[in-house]
Amino acid sequence: MSMAIGIFSNQAAAIEAVQLLEGAGFRPDEMKVVAKDRESSGRIESETDVHVDELNDLTDARADRSGGDIPLDSPAAAGWAAGFPAGLGLGTYNGTGYPAGVLAYTALNDGGSGMKGALHALGLGDTAAEVCRDAIREGSIVVVAEADGDDSVRKGSAEDVFRRTGAAQII
């Protein structure tokens, strides 16, 4: 399977890209859209028929499936030991309470292994996963168009759509 990846700096451009990809014959199941969180993805999901994966959610889900505790030398454990202001809320990880947001902080600042692994699970190779991880950290939105086999014509069509809609980067 070949894929074209476009990195967009805003939701409007990502929406336009998805709509043009559909016009070029890509089905919703041949596209993936990945954003950092619900705030970055809400409009895209409401204005297109393509599901948007929030990388924070994917990373948290992968952490839940992998089991094990948060290492004592991790930023999450250090933050817990230092204490957090009241009102931040409490989340859990493997039955242990942590201040809300600590897991997301750890996923975003763990050197990217959690985020990169989540992107691998979506079918991205090493280099593409690293580039996309860094772009998503900065608030960009990733649109992936997949073509069966080595369909260079459809891949080229997707790349053309990404160029026309102002992708900051095309992989």
User: What is the per-residue pLDDT across 35-81, written as a single tens digit (0 to 9) for each?
Assistant: 999 888 989 999 999 999 998 887 777 665 555 444 444 444 444 34
Give the pLDDT mean for 119-141. Answer: 94
Give the pLDDT mean for 143-152. Answer: 89
Q: Is 151 a residue whose pLDDT tops 60?
A: yes
Share of the chain above pLDDT 70, in %: 69
Nearest-Å Rg of the Cα atoms of the chain is: 18
CA triplet 122, 63, 71: central angle to 5 degrees?
A: 140
Helices and strands, counts by H and E, the chain: 8, 7
Question: In which order are the strands placed within the sheet that holds 31-35?
Answer: 52-54, 31-35, 141-147, 2-8, 169-170
* pLDDT for position 113: 66
Contacts of 45 (CB under 8 A, 6+ apart): 51, 52
CB atoms inside a 10 Å sphere around CB 154: 22
Q: Report the C-alpha gap between 35 and 140 in whole angstroms.
A: 7
Please check whether residue 157 is in contact with residue 20, taking contact to mean a CB–CB distance below 8 angstroms. Answer: no
Mean pLDDT of all residues belonging to the chain? 78
Backbone φ and ψ for 129, nearest 5 degrees, come out as: -65, -40
3-class DSSP state of 169: strand
